[in-house]
A and B are shown apart, each in its own frame.
Chain A
Amino acid sequence: MRLIVHNMLTCNIKGVVNKFPLRIEAEKVIKKEVDFNPDFLRHMLAKIEWKALVDGARSMGYTELPDQLESEESYSFLKKFHHALLELHLEEGSLVCQETGRKFPVEKGVPNMLLHEDEV
């Protein structure tokens, strides 16, 4: 699971208000390089929840992102954004609901968001 996906996942347990973001507990993280596409990245800057991305990246061991979005979209900033958004993979770990503490397991890179019967 990459952070671009984490940035859209919410806790859909019935009644939960604080559904986003899910906290990441990382057990195994791998890095895979992908092509740098600055136009796409600039387009994404407007859509991404920045704090969730920064916290998520930190949980996966990457601390280079600035706390605030930079107004000047320099090359070096976009490279860090690219790396955090698209090149970090959570292979094993959990996504934790901040309100209920419920853990959604991530195995072989796939988060399991299926709810139990009493959560629906």
Chain B
Amino acid sequence: MKLKQLEGLLGDLQQFSNPKVDLEQYPTGPHIASRMLFTAENSYGDITDKVVADFGCGCGTLSAAAALLDAACVIGFDIDPQSLETATLNAEELEVEIDFVQCDITKLELKGRVVDTVVMNPPFGTRKKGADMEFLSAAMKVASRAVYSLHKTSTREHIKRAALRDFNAKTAEVICELRYDLPKLYKFHKRKEVDIAVDLWRFEPKQK
């Protein structure tokens, strides 16, 4: 599948109808999502024929991208039942198979090393402090091959230090810097649109 085609398909997905500000629900746009997964597969071989988990999947954009790039199995995890309903509809629309689990990712305990790759656009921690680190910690416990995650560029040094020192990362690399354009989603948003600098990270866990 070509990048443009992937981006086009992801652009047709339904997004949050009533986003919950406390969960930091923001859609992952098709531009970022397609590039993130395309790079994960073309540069690192982490998606096709692999078991891919999407932490904080929301409406399932990253999950859908993984499925369209022929992951062997895609599992989306989220706490919000409405998002999971939308994600289920999106999977049906695209005619791809995605399993979904409703849970609190910070309390989740998964057995074994079945999951190869975790992809995620986690909360940045603007509502619940430290949420971004909790998601990263959880992902590093689960993935056997790699974790792909988006974090604010302003947190770059902090993330690198925590990943290598506390979360069992063998490597922690910023693959590229992206502009995350957030449309005015919530009433407290003053500007019509805001551009946030985010890093796309790739973490490799140490082998057990």
Contacts and interface: CB of A to CB of B under 8 A. Distances in A.
Interface string B69-101: 000110100010100110010000000010111
B115 interface: yes
B101 A120 contact: no
B111 A4 contact: no
B112 A7 contact: yes
A102 interface: no
Interface in B10-26: none
B109 to A, nearest CB: 5
B2 to A, nearest CB: 21
Contacts of B115: 8
Chain A contact patch, size range: 20 to 34
A74 B107 CA distance: 39
Interface of A: 1-2, 4-5, 7-10, 12, 19-20, 32, 34, 37, 39-40, 44, 47-49, 86, 108-115, 120
Interface of B: 49, 51, 72-73, 75, 79, 81, 84-85, 88, 97, 99-104, 107-115
Kindly list the 4 A-B residue pairs having the minimum CB-CB distance in the complex, ordered from nearest.
Answer: A113-B103, A8-B110, A112-B102, A12-B109
